[in-house]
Amino acid sequence: MAEMIATRVAYGRALARLGAQRGDVVVLDADLSKSTMTHEFAKAYPERFVQMGIAEQDMMGTAAGLAAAGKVAYASTFAMFAAGRAYDQVRNSICYSNLNVKICATHAGLTVGEDGGSHQCLEDIALMRVIPNMKVFVPSDAVLTEWLVRQVADVSGPVYVRLGRPAVPVIYHPEQRFELGKAVTLREGSDVAIVACGVMVARALDAADILAQQGISARVLDMFSIKPIDAEAIDGAAAHCGAIVTAEEHSVIGGLGGAVAEAVTSGICVPVERVGVNDRFGKSGKPDQLMEVYGLTAKAVAEAAMRAIARKR
């Protein structure tokens, strides 16, 4: 059984360590620091922590001002409020000027659980990736999250990192090497490729196991870098496997599935099946229960793989 760590917990740890390494890092939060885990940084570096209160629009604007004055500003709140409530501020105050603001949004997707549909942001990948200058990353585990949080400090310009609430399996060895813009091939395969991000990566690996039992060889890619997307890896998957399944804890419209479909239509055209939330709002429930009800399971991914294979010409 893999160790279980929430990506937001890994974020909090990495951010506190980054604070020691870089004096130009400042952190902003909107009254959720104990949930987003920025409170660890706040405790260690109170002079560089800016508590904004429940004011996400002001937080994004203040982060823009800090960045304009030379700081690397990490701004955190729930995904719903970062990408939804403060959209115009993210676009006009941060991205339009290509400012060094790293939006690390937690509690994304259905796995928020009991808080319900108002808090389960299923649109943020779509909203963020469409803005020029913005880069979008969705880490699948704690190891990748810690690497990303350090790495994006060196990226020039705005970044959106999507993090989750519940503990998720650790997938990577601590020594694993990553590269921004490059997918990680977690499993080689030749009949179908599963391109996943976030919490769906672990389920994609389970789906590959299910498919293997039926004699189907599935490649599994962790497409944590949604923008820039790894078009080369998608082309490789299309050329080698001939069919693709995407899997994300997000609307099937405009997120990873959308990005992969766009890449496929400008590259090697193969069938693409998208697993995600089918243009619906979330509801209250336990995280695993919701993932089941909304069809975000290993079984659903394996079934989508069969459909994709059946569509091969």
Pick the closer one to another protein by CB: 26 or 241: 26
Q: Is 127 in the site for another protein (CB under 8 A)?
A: no
Q: Is 61 in the site for another protein (CB under 8 A)?
A: yes
State yes or no: is 56 an active-site residue.
yes
Q: Which of 40, 56, 146, 248 is catalytic?
A: 56
Query: Smallest distance, Å, CB 68 to another protein?
Result: 6
Q: Return the residue of 48, 135, 203, 250 that touches another protein, per CB under 8 A.
A: 48
String of contacts with another protein for each residue 87-126, x by CB under 8 A:
-xx--xx--xxx----------------------------
**Residue 113 burial (10 A CB sphere; 0-12, 13-18, 19+):** buried
Query: Smallest distance, Å, CB 8 to another protein?
Result: 24
Pick the closer one to another protein by CB: 127 or 226: 127
Pick the closer one to another protein by CB: 63 or 205: 63
Cα 202 from Cα 255, distance rounded (Å): 18
- Preceding peptide of 228 cis, ω within 30°: yes
Cβ neighbours of residue 192 closer than 8 Å, sequence gap 6 or more:
211, 216, 217, 218, 219, 241, 242, 243, 244, 245, 305, 308, 309
Lookup: tokens for 58: 């002001």
The DSSP secondary structure of 33-80, one letter per residue, reads HHHHSTHHHHHH-GGGEEE--S-HHHHHHHHHHHHHTT-EEEEEEEHI
Please report, as ranges, the residues that interact with another protein according to CB under 8 A: 26, 47-48, 50, 52-53, 55, 57-58, 60-71, 73, 88-89, 92-93, 96-98
Residue numbers annotated as active site: 56
